[in-house]
Amino acid sequence: MIEFKDVTKSFKNVDAVKGVTCEIRDREVFGLLGPNGAGKTTLIMTMATVYNPTRGEVFVEGHSASAEPDKVKALIGISFQDPKYDRILSAREILEWHAKVTGVEKGVREKRIDEVLAKFGLTGEARKRTWTLSGGTKKKIENAKVFVQRPKIAVFDEPTAYLDVPSRLMVWDMIDELRDEGSTVVLATNMMDEADRMSDRVGIMSRGEMVRVGEPAALKGSLRGRDVIEMKLGVPIPELPGEVSKVEEVKEARFEGDVLKIVLSNGRGLLPHMINVVTAKGGTVQSVNLKEPSLEDVFLYYTGMKLS
């Protein structure tokens, strides 16, 4: 288990992480969700012992990250957001060195490297200097370091940035495999679909603070009652928002251009009624869209910011 206890990390006058308290359970995929600059990377770095917290404490498997950094680092493998390795070296050299330094046993090292390179389709490029490779390939090599290491705690910072769709799916499968083998996975991302699909639980970070932690379904459920019906009308009728607001379940109604946006509970059940109310007042409904809360809505609700 990883425990963050009131962790604050300040750089000069800037609090990059502010009073974060949360737990990451064993063998779960924990999605760390937040826009760039939210403090995700800094929080990861305090866990990885690269930065000491200015205040508070991080415990990894019961070891203090400040007092026992070597024990903590031996448990962790990080795939950084931007590839971090010697670009004069080849993928194979990078992976061999990383595997050695992180203590992967000699007997399994080569086999594992071959397997991971093959999975990423990099066998043919394994001996090229990595600076000559594309951005996506460089990112695959960064991810490959952790898949070769197979650490107890695997940290992926934006693992599918720069990757095409097949590669993204493969990385997700490989992360699932790691978790199934017993690793705890911390997945920092600003991609909602990735966090939603991959995470057992999600922590939402904004401006250095952990504003909410929970299972994606539970977080979306916490916004129950905030379904959105969007009706595109031929001609906007100014009195319609007031008219639909008379329905008890409606929390908010307004026009955005020629689209009537209604925030309400039980949107699915009330959809036919809302169409009736609009048409009874002379509205011509051209199209209807019902949106139930997504993780993006959850993020927007708790942070007041759009991730994108």
Write out the residues near another protein by the rule CB under 8 A.
Answer: 11-12, 14, 16, 37, 41-42, 45, 48-52, 69-70, 73-74, 76, 78, 80, 82, 84-86, 88-89, 93, 97, 100-105, 129, 149-152
Nearer to another protein, 42 or 206 (CB): 42
Residue 54 or 222 with smaller CB distance to another protein: 54
Smallest gap from residue 293 Cβ to another protein (A): 31
* Half-sphere exposure of residue 223: CA atoms within 13 angstroms, side-chain side: 24
Determine contact, residues 157/79, Cβ cutoff 8 Å.
Answer: yes
Nearer to another protein, 53 or 283 (CB): 53
- What is the C-alpha to C-alpha distance for residues 94 and 116, in angstroms, rounded to an integer? 13
Least Å distance between CB 77 and another protein? Answer: 9
Q: Which is nearer to another protein, 13 or 308 (CB)?
A: 13
> Based on CB atoms, which residue is closest to another protein, 14 or 280?
14
124-133 long-range Cβ contacts below 8 angstroms, 24+ apart: 125/91, 126/90, 126/91, 126/92, 127/90, 127/91, 127/92, 128/90, 128/91, 129/87, 129/88, 129/89, 129/90, 130/83, 130/85, 130/87, 130/89, 130/90, 130/91, 130/94, 131/87, 131/88, 133/91
Least gap, CB of 203 to another protein (angstroms): 18
The least CB distance from residue 40 to another protein, in Å, is 9
* Residue nearer to another protein on the CB measure, 47 or 175: 47
Strand partners, 14: 11
CB of 73 to another protein, least distance (A): 4
CA distance 210 to 304: 14
Closest distance between another protein and the C-beta of residue 50, in Å? 5
